[in-house]
Chains A and B, each alone.
Chain A
């Protein structure tokens, strides 16, 4: 049931974000999901672009930080927080168009009966910092353009290599982002990297569910502010039987929910909204213990694990 609602939501928001602009919907330039501004007629822009654009050129000269013009840097950020806080990471698994694209590729793989490749916990842990490094770079590089004289073609560094930029416009019939720009050495470097990465991610997404999300800097940014959100994902440590279903069903192989024992093995509810969690609720659906895993909005339970629900779901399959 929850999976179906999520799929419905993903498809509805895919249409809204990708084509909404053509029908007069404009949701601003601070969306906490990959609604790509390079899609003509999209309803809104991913916040990462605003985060880079507000820093491009003279706008981020250090003097701006101490002037009234800084409000124009802060405003998109405030808008991002206003949109992000009520839904937290539900933006990823329930609304993000690029997430849905990855799910389609996964569906094709499953139809072909090809198993996904598994990543060891060690590899997973090594990859975790990559999204934070990308986030830091996409903020620092525009600052370096404004203040240290870095070549302006380094502007929008993440957008230039983001695989969503060539892939999402395909759904509007636009193939113009599959090229290498021979204008100068910087553009050649960026566009060649973008094409190679797009190829790598297409292969990665095919062989591993939600492969891109492991590297997504927007997920890293959202994780930094998750505590401000009323959205909670808690585990009742005392109730957990340690079956490991949650890790098995997680599209990004999060082991922390399964392994979380609480501080000093004290019983009670522990926050398990980890940095890679996308809020898909697959783990809650597959948990066989009543109320062991709970998604909450303030103190209201949105969805909690239930033996009855799990049995009904898997018996129907």
Chain B
């Protein structure tokens, strides 16, 4: 009798829960609580100039919980079609460049029904005669890039020196239409903030990074990295997408032209006054 009760209970509950499933997935997709807990994300580690002139950028990979597939690291260089793969050494990998190289990097994996994709762009100013080692990805791996949903930074190919205080526009590239309205968030100094959608294009999000006191003190080449992320649901699958980017301090935000003019005039007047005071010869030619 008790066993029959369980049977009925299961027969009723499974469809009910099942029918709610997509909504649960969507609800999950709309919030940002998954950040750092079970999401694949990248951390820019050391950039190094090697004695042979090559430059390398090392990354630390933060693995998602319950990862089922291996983590793939693929990149393209200088907008060429060749796709290269990089082996992961535990949780780190490095990309080398022997010449100035604009790198488009994708790191992706799967955890159950959840797909994790991290994308980033960077420029490495290598200057070496010894060629950097490259391993071409298998055609099947390379083909994945064509359909891989990802966040991208609009205009990132033409400009790489992103600064605080200057708006950045992010967008989404997918082969499908997400089930729910897309929302982007940014992780900035361990704070999660929602991004405002562009009024003209709801799939574009604008983020103006705030000035950072540590960056201001650290020097013009110092960087911090922020991550823009979103979660999409489609066909009972979840997509955790992230875009990691480096930020420099603002070059022009703290320029004070009034103070500059005062210092300039001060220097001019003090020196001119000194010359006039010290002058012994006549001033004017006859």
CA distance A164 to B271 in the complex (A): 18
- CB-CB under 8 A from B284, the residues of chain A are 113-115
Cβ-based interface call for B8 (8 A): no
- Find out whether the CB atom of A69 lies under 8 angstroms from the CB atom of B283: no
- Encode B240-278 as 1/0 by CB contact (under 8 A) with A: 000000000110101111011101111111111001001
Stretch at the interface among B19-27, B87-95, B213-221: B213-221
Q: Are B267 and A196 in contact (CB under 8 A)?
A: yes
Residue of B nearest to A208 (CB): B275
Chain B residues within 8 Å of chain A by Cβ, number: 45
Q: A202-239: contact bitstring with B at CB < 8 Å (1 yes, 0 no)? A: 11101100000000000000000000000000000000
Task: Enumerate chain B interface residues (CB-CB to A < 8 A).
Answer: 48-53, 127-130, 216-222, 249-250, 252, 254-257, 259-261, 263-272, 275, 278-279, 281-285
Q: In the complex, what residue of chain B is closest to A199 when comparing beta carbons?
A: B267
Which residue of B is nearest A75, CB measured?
Answer: B127
A118 and B280 CA atoms in complex are apart in Å by 9
Q: How near does chain A come to B270, taking the closest CB pair, in angstroms?
A: 8
CB-CB under 8 A for A152 and B268, given A63-B51, A182-B256, A191-B260: no
Stretch of A173-181, A266-274, A302-310 that contacts chain B: A173-181
Whole-angstrom CA separation of A66 from B284 in the bound complex: 60
Min CB distance A174 to B, Å, is 13
User: For the complex, what is the distance from the CA of A182 to the CA of B261, rounded to whole Å?
Assistant: 14
Q: Which chain B positions have C-beta within 8 A of A153?
A: 219-220
**Cβ-closest 5 pairs across A and B:** A199-B267, A67-B51, A152-B219, A195-B263, A199-B268
CA distance A66 to B52 in the complex (A): 10
Which residues in chain A, 45-100, are within 8 Å of chain B measured between CB atoms? 57-59, 61, 63-64, 66-69, 71-72
Q: Is the CB of A69 within 8 A of B264?
A: no
Provide the residues of chain B in CB contact with A57, threshold 8 Å.
49, 221
* Cβ-based interface call for A183 (8 A): yes
Name A196's contact: one of B53, B217, B264, B278 (CB within 8 Å): B264
Q: What are the residues of chain B within 8 A of A301 when measuring CB–CB? A: none
A177 CB, nearest partner CB in chain B, Å? 9
- Chain A residue with the shortest CB-CB distance to B255: A179
For B282, what are the chain A residues with a Cβ–Cβ distance below 8 Å? Answer: 115
Report the separation of the CA atoms of residues A195 and B275 in the bound assembly, to the nearest whole angstrom: 19
Q: How near does chain A come to B273, taking the closest CB pair, in angstroms? A: 9
Q: Which residues of B contact A181 (CB under 8 A)?
A: 254-256
| 18 intermolecular pairs with C-beta atoms under 8 Å apart | A66-B51, A68-B52, A68-B53, A69-B50, A115-B283, A117-B279, A152-B219, A153-B219, A155-B219, A176-B252, A179-B255, A181-B254, A181-B256, A182-B259, A183-B249, A195-B260, A199-B270, A204-B271
Give the shortest distance, in Å, between A229 (CB) and chain B (any CB). Answer: 30
Q: Is A200 an interface residue (CB 8 A)?
A: yes
Question: Do residues A180 and B259 form an inter-chain contact, with CB atoms below 8 A?
Answer: yes
For A152, the chain B residues whose CB sits under 8 A away are 218-222
Chain B minimum-CB-distance residue to A193:
B263
Q: For residue B285, which residue of chain A has the nearest CB?
A: A113
Q: A95-109 CB contact bits vs B (8 Å, 1 = yes)?
A: 000000000000000
With most chain A CB atoms within 10 A of its CB, the pick from B256, B263, B285 is: B263
Assess the B219–A69 pair: CB atoms within 8 A.
no
Within 8 Å by CB of A195, from B49, B50, B130, B264, lies B264
Please determine whether B271 and A69 come into contact, CB atoms closer than 8 angstroms. no
Q: A69-B52, A72-B127, A196-B264 are in contact. Are A115 and B285 (CB under 8 A)?
A: yes
A117: which B residues are within 8 A, CB to CB? Answer: 275, 278-279, 281
Please determine whether B260 and A180 come into contact, CB atoms closer than 8 angstroms.
yes
Contact mask for chain A residues 124-161; partner B; CB cutoff 8 A; 1 contact, 0 none: 00000000000000000000000000011101000000
In the bound complex, do residue B257 and residue A179 qualify as a contact, i.e. CB atoms below 8 Å apart? yes
User: Is A179 a contact of B259 with CB atoms below 8 Å?
Assistant: yes
Indicate if the CB atoms of B52 and A115 lie closer than 8 Å. no
Specify which of A63, A115, A155, A178 is in contact with B220 (CB 8 Å cutoff).
Answer: A155
Tell me the bound Cα distance from A203 to B267 in angstroms: 8
Q: A63-B51, A191-B260, A203-B271 are in contact. List 16 more A-B contacts (CB 8 A).
A: A57-B221, A64-B51, A68-B128, A69-B127, A113-B285, A152-B218, A153-B220, A180-B255, A180-B263, A184-B216, A187-B254, A192-B263, A195-B260, A195-B263, A196-B267, A202-B264
A118 / chain B contacts, CB cutoff of 8 Å: 281
Q: How far is B261's CA from A202's CA once the two chains are assembled, in angstroms?
A: 13
In the bound complex, what is the Cα–Cα distance between A211 and B212 (angstroms)?
42
Residues of B within 8 A of A196 (CB): 263-264, 266-267
Query: A115 to chain B: which residues have CB within 8 Å?
Result: 281-285
A153 to B284, CA, bound (A): 45
| CB-CB nearest in chain A for B55 | A58
A310–B261 alpha-carbon span in the complex (Å): 45
| Residue A35 CB within 8 A of the other chain | no
Given the interface pairs A114-B283, A152-B220, A153-B220, the reply to whether A200 lies near B255 with Cβ below 8 Å is no
Q: Which residue of A lies closest to B282 (CB)?
A: A115
**Which residues of chain A are within 8 angstroms of B218 by Cβ–Cβ distance?**
152
> Which residue, A63, A178, A200, has most C-beta atoms of chain B within 10 A?
A200
**A203 to B275 alpha-carbon distance, docked (Å):** 9
The residues of A that contact B219 with a CB separation of less than 8 Å are 151-153, 155
Whole-angstrom distance between the alpha carbons of A57 and B127 in the complex? Answer: 15
Tell me, yes or no, whether A249 is within 8 Å of chain B by CB.
Answer: no
In the complex, A289 has a CB within 8 A of chain B: no
